[in-house]
Structure 1
Amino acid sequence: MTILTVCIFSFNRGQYLRNCVESICACIPEADIVIFDDNSDDPETLAYLEKAGDFCRIVEPREVGTIKHGGLYHNMNAALDLLRDSPMLCFLQDDTQMVRPVSSSELKEIGELFEKNPGLGFVHPCFIRGIDLKKRQVTPLAGPAPGFFYRQDTGQSAGIHYSDLVVFKPGRLVDAGWCFRQSEPANDTQARELFGMMAYMWLPFAMWLPEVPAYRGKKKTLGLRLAEKKKCVGFYPFKLLSDDEVEQVREHEPPRLPVAEDFLECTPFSPPVPWTYNPLTGLRLLKNVNNLEVAFRRWFKS
């Protein structure tokens, strides 16, 4: 049985989905890939899903999502139910990618980390977003093993016990009675109650792509469209870290805080730093326009 199954949650971003899948194939060729698509309807995505069906498992949603992340958490629960007997799962989304090779021995080490720490629920495989450091500093705490650390709780709503991008043992979640709730903060609260702190990697292997076109409830508002234009959103995939770069990170003492902008480079060029992951970040007026339109939509539907 494959040590790791990677689940990708997808909607209407064919170019990004392709990049995510290709990065997994390049970095963990032995991994199984399962794509949970949220009823995409654009031709590019549908064409790629048909092609990817030759070497990936494609799963359609079981429920229609009504919350702001579409059917994301419904599909996460479907993944947990469908793959509950898998040794280890990694949840990614179509606007993320793998950034370095991960060997079978490293995957076994992550599996052993869970075995040696029965209260550990999740490992976060991604770099820290530089933009987050503007809100609060990240203070690393001693982790469950040398290659991992915990993050000091400074009162944020998520990211201490849970993230939507995680590695975990599905059987452990099932045994604990876990059910994915409809927001990241709600899941962070659940993870705190059932497990404890999430482990961060000093040498992560995945990351969100910066400045990606965003979908909210599957239909873009005027405020969101204007924000995307202002931010020059686009396709900025990461170059894979070389073996030498990986080794330099491993050997650095003390370990450097894994902030994405300090380690990763986009192609054909990197957007200005700090990178953002929601076009509305830092644009208060357009964010208010977006929120107003979303409120009107909900009111007219009620």
Structure 2
Amino acid sequence: MGAVTVCIFSFNRERFLRNCVESVRACMPYANIAIFDDDSTDPDTRRYLAEASSYCEIVAPQTVGTIKHGGLYHNMNAALELFKGSQFVCFLQDDTQVVRPVCEEEFDKIDQIFEENAQLGFIHPCFIRGVDLIKRPVDALPGPGNEFYFRKDTGQSAGIHYSDLVIFKPMRLIRAGWEFQQSEPANDRQAKALFGMMLYMWLPFAMWLPEVPAYRGKNKTLGLKLAERKKNVGFYPFRVWRQEDIVQARAQGNYQLPVAESFLQCVADTPPKPWTYNPLTGLTGLKYLNNLEVAVRRWFKRIVKM
């Protein structure tokens, strides 16, 4: 089993999945790639999965997922078991991208950090979302070494001890009795109990793409469709850093908070800043309409089963 396995969780977004996979192949050529597809129905996605099977492992879901997140957390548990022999596992999703070359020596440093910190469970590889700073500041706390920091707990439900995008040592999780729960807050509480605070990177290597189309429970409600139209959701991939960009970023020092909008550029059109990552963000009325339709669907399914 390889030293680094990148697991990409996907559903019905061929263009985004292809971009994510190709970014891993270009920036982390030594990594094994596994795509956990949540039974995509889109023909383009199905064709791409067949194409990608020649250089990625394609894993079908074994368990039916929840309404909101589909089979995401079930697939995470499958990934933990399937790749327990890997030295590291990195979780990404189809709407994310690796934005810079990541040399194998970086994982040597990550391995050293894990070995020197027995209670460390997770490292977060992504930039800070600028929209999150509107709700609360991100206060960096000193971490082990000068390339990592902790994030001060300011009361958020997730992100202090756990994120769905993480690097971890699978056997450490298994020995601790870890099992992925069905939400980020539940996993954050579990990580707090078993490990403690999650480490952040001063120079991250991955990020969610801004303003992407979304699914909730594998369906698009009317509220979600209207929100996507209002936000002009689309495909906004990031420009991949050159080696000189990395050198320049390191030369600026490690203590500039890595906010995505300050460090990353989209290849072509750039959505308005701060970027959002859920079409319903900031659209209270459409969010209410979306939640109402989801609730009605749940009620109807219960009635049908009776």
- Superposition TM-score, scaled by structure 1 size: 0.99
Q: 1:253 deviation in Å?
A: 3.2
Kindly provide the amino acid, as one letter, of the partner of residue 61 in structure 1.
P
Tell me by how many angstroms 1:257 deviates.
0.2
SS at match of 1:213: coil
Q: Which residue of 1 aligns with 2:62?
A: 62
SS class of match (2:9) = strand
Is residue 99–residue 206 contact of structure 1 (8 Å, CA) maintained in 2? yes
- Other-structure match for 1:81: 81
1:50 match: secondary structure? helix
Report the aligned-residue RMSD.
0.8
Q: Which amino acid aligns with 1:293?
A: E
Structure 1 residue 51 corresponds to structure 2 residue 42: no
Instruction: Measure the CA separation in 2 of the matches of 1:79 and 1:254.
Output: 32
Q: Where does residue 101 of structure 1 map in the other structure?
A: 101
Opposite residue 170 of structure 1, the aligned amino acid is: P
Q: Does the Cα contact within 8 Å between 2:236 and 2:270 map onto a contact in 1?
A: yes
- Report the identity percentage: 66
- The aligned counterpart of 2:211 is 211
Q: CA offsets per residue over residues 203-231 of structure 1, 9 Å max, x none?
A: 00000000000000001000000000000
Structure 2 counterparts to residues 103-182 of structure 1, below 5 A: 103-182=103-182
**Hey, what's the Cα distance between the residues in 2 that align with 1:170 and 1:223?**
39
Q: Return the letter of the residue paired with 2:230.
A: K
What are the equivalent positions in structure 2 for 1:184-223 lying under 5 Å apart? 184-223=184-223
Q: Give 3-state SS (helix, strand or coil) of 1:130's partner.
A: coil
Pairing of 1:239-278 with structure 2 (within 5 A): 239-253=239-253, 255-278=255-278
Aligned equivalent of 1:7: 7
Shift of 1:202: 0.2
- CA contact under 8 A between 2:202 and 2:254: conserved in structure 1? no
Between the aligned partners of 2:266 and 2:254, the Cα distance in structure 1 is 26
SS at match of 2:16: helix
- Aligned counterparts of 1:193 and 1:67: Cα–Cα separation in 2: 27
Contact 2:146-2:254 within 8 A present in 1 as well: no
After TM superposition, give the deviation of residue 254 of structure 1 in Å: 5.5
User: Does structure 2 conserve the Cα–Cα contact (< 8 Å) formed by 1:141 and 1:151?
Assistant: yes
Shift of 1:245: 1.7
SS of structure 1 residue aligned to 2:45: helix
Does the CA-based 8 Å contact 1:3-1:107 persist in structure 2? no
1:38 aligns with 2:62: no
**Do 1:3 and 1:108's aligned partners in 2 also have CA atoms closer than 8 Å?**
no
Instruction: Determine the structure 2 residue equivalent to 1:285.
Output: 285
**CA offset at residue 4 of structure 1?**
0.8
Aligned length in residues:
302
Residues 24-74 of structure 1 show CA distances to partners (whole Å, capped at 9, x for unaligned) of: 000000100000000001111001000000000000000011231100000
Cα distance, 1:270 vs. partner? 1.1
- The letter for the 2-side match of 1:196 is G
1:233 equivalent in structure 2: 233
Q: Structure 1 residue 18 and structure 2 residue 45: aligned?
A: no
1:262 alignment partner AA? S
When structure 1 is superposed on structure 2, of 242-251 and 26-35 the one drifting more is 242-251
Q: Conserved in 1, the CA contact under 8 Å of 2:113 and 2:144?
A: yes
SS at the partner of 1:2? coil
Unmatched runs of 5 consecutive residues or more in structure 2: none
- State the distance in 1 between where 2:36 and 2:24 align: 15
Q: Pick which of 264-273 and 148-157 moved more.
A: 264-273
* Structure 1 SS opposite 2:200: strand
- Look up the SS of the partner of 1:90 in the other structure: strand
> Cα deviation per residue 1:160-189 (whole Å; 9 max; x = unaligned)?
000000000000000000000000000000
**Aligned partners of 1:229, 1:144: CA distance in 2, in Å?**
44
For residue 298 of structure 1, what is the aligned residue in structure 2?
A: 298
Cα deviation for residue 232 of structure 1 reads: 0.2
| 2:274 match: secondary structure | coil
